[in-house]
Amino acid sequence: MRRDPWQAIADPTRRKIIEILTDQSMTISDIANRFDISRPAISKQLKILDESNLINITQEGRERTCSLTPEGLQEVHDWVLQYESFWMKKLDRLDDYLSK
């Protein structure tokens, strides 16, 4: 399943998870220890981040490790650049409209 990254970052817990993963990759247990919510609840949030392509979960021995994914982050970041281009094009159209 492919999710919308915007919705993934709309949630404060998921943003906090991304925040702590910017420093280093972490196991699910380590992440869960940073929060006051249950491990299943954290796992559910991680699943959403994984499905949004924002994080990668890999099995290492008995533990599963989470790390940030470049592509997913890039997609969200590119957005402002695209929006600037959107407005430039629209202003060209405004000029066309005015010249009618």
Partner 1 sequence: MSHQIEIKRKFKYPVHQVWGALSSKEALSDWLMETSDFALSEGHQFQFRTKPRGGFDGVVHCEMLEFKEPESMKFTWKASNWPQPTTVVWSLSSIGESETLLTLSHNGFVGINGWFTKKMLGFGWKNLLGKKLENYLSA
Tell me the C-alpha to C-alpha distance, in Å, between residue 24 and each of 20, 43, 65: 7, 18, 10
Q: Per the structure block, which two tokens stand in for 30?
A: 């380590």
Binding segment toward partner 1, per CB under 8 A, in 25-33, 35-43, 57-65, 75-83: 75-83
Residues 32-71, one symbol each (x = binds partner 1 by CB under 8 A, - = not), give ------------------------------------x-x-
79 contacts partner 1 (rule: CB under 8 A) = yes
Q: Is the Cβ of residue 15 or residue 39 nearer to partner 1 in the bound state?
A: 15
* CB contact at 8 A, 66 and 28: yes
Pairing state between β 55-60 and 63-68? antiparallel
How buried is 46 (Cβ within 10 angstroms: 0-12 exposed, 13-18 middle, 19+ buried)?
Answer: buried
Which positions lie near partner 1, rule CB under 8 A? 3-7, 9-10, 15, 18-19, 22-23, 68, 70, 73-74, 76-81, 83-84, 87-88, 90-91, 93-98
